[in-house]
A and B are shown apart, each in its own frame.
Chain A
Amino acid sequence: MKTTASVTPVNGFGERSVGRLVAAHYLERLGGPIKIGIDNALGIHPEALRLRAKRAELIANNIANADTPGFKARDIDFQSVLASRTGDRFSTSGVRRTDEQHMSLQNLQSTNGTHATLYRTALMPSLDGNSVDVQMEQTAFAQNSIQYLASLRFLNGRIQGMMSAIKGE
């Protein structure tokens, strides 16, 4: 005996129509058509990449000034800068805004944006006032490079995903 398993059409609608109806329902709940753009598709990663590049620049400057008297090493507070640059969309902090008009914690912390680069606390202060520890800077640079590569890999994954979506293979 041959049995065929098939989806029974509901209320006379075909299989496809049901799918379309469900999709339309969810679109309505989302508040309009889904916005598809390269920026949205790439997510947080372009911003992270830019920040990593900036941090690489800062650390390179610290290393270049390793012998400059009185130079103070600087670094970026990655978390806070990323949070302030991307808004609450990708906020990693515990506080989340549910409305744009609510007060932003990030904005409170950085009314003038001076939090972007901070001075590093010297592990071993030197006599000439230089606070660069080359070993620390080198490890920070290496770490930053790895994280940069990680962001690149994420981006690559997103691009590959889009490519396969476009090609439909």
Chain B
Amino acid sequence: MGLLNVFDVSGTGMAAQTLRLNTTASNIANAQSVAENPEDTYRARYPVFQAALVSQMDGNLNTPANAGVQVPGIVESQRDLVVRYEPDHPYANEEGYVTYPNVSVVEEMANMISASRSFQINVEVMNTAKSLAERVLTLGQ
């Protein structure tokens, strides 16, 4: 039944947005994390969203048209790491520089707001589908 597929579709959307929120939380939490090696320094992580297509437009109404969104993987930002001059830091190199993650907290905040809004909209859709399905159950009463 079409309406129950809405639950699956919105569910994948919510799962994807939750993952995005997770990576955002991880990025913000590690914004100031330093490592002994510059190669081991934390890099900002972002999920990759992809549309999960079950069937192409075959015009058949009984096949589920789509299965929502899927996350094939998480990528690390290739932006330059932030280097700061802190000679007193225990992880400073010979020249006195410490390598910090390439996390932009402002960007992460914007990402977080976007993710939470998208999550809310998916919840809204699911709620509407639920109330419609409830109305179907009371049909003819």
Give me the interface of A with B, judged by CB distance under 8 Å.
50-51, 53-54, 56-61, 63-71, 74, 81, 85, 110, 112-117, 134, 138, 141-142, 145, 148-149, 152, 155-156, 159-160, 163
Contacts and interface: CB of A to CB of B under 8 A. Distances in A.
B51 A53 contact: no
A58 B60 CA distance: 13
Given A67-B118, A156-B139, A50 B2 contact: yes
Contacts of B60: 113, 116
What are the nearest 6 A-B pairs in CB distance?
A: A64-B13, A113-B59, A53-B2, A116-B59, A61-B66, A159-B140
Contact of B139 (A65, A81, A155): A155
Contacts of B12: 64
Nearest to A68: B49
B57 interface: yes
Interface of B: 1-3, 5-6, 9-10, 12-13, 16-17, 20, 49-51, 57-61, 64-69, 114-115, 118, 121-122, 124-126, 128-129, 132, 135-136, 139-140
20 contacts: A54-B61, A56-B2, A56-B6, A57-B5, A57-B66, A58-B65, A60-B125, A60-B129, A63-B121, A64-B16, A64-B68, A66-B118, A67-B115, A67-B118, A69-B49, A113-B60, A116-B60, A141-B128, A145-B132, A156-B139
A159 B121 contact: no
A44 B136 CA distance: 16
A138 B121 CA distance: 8
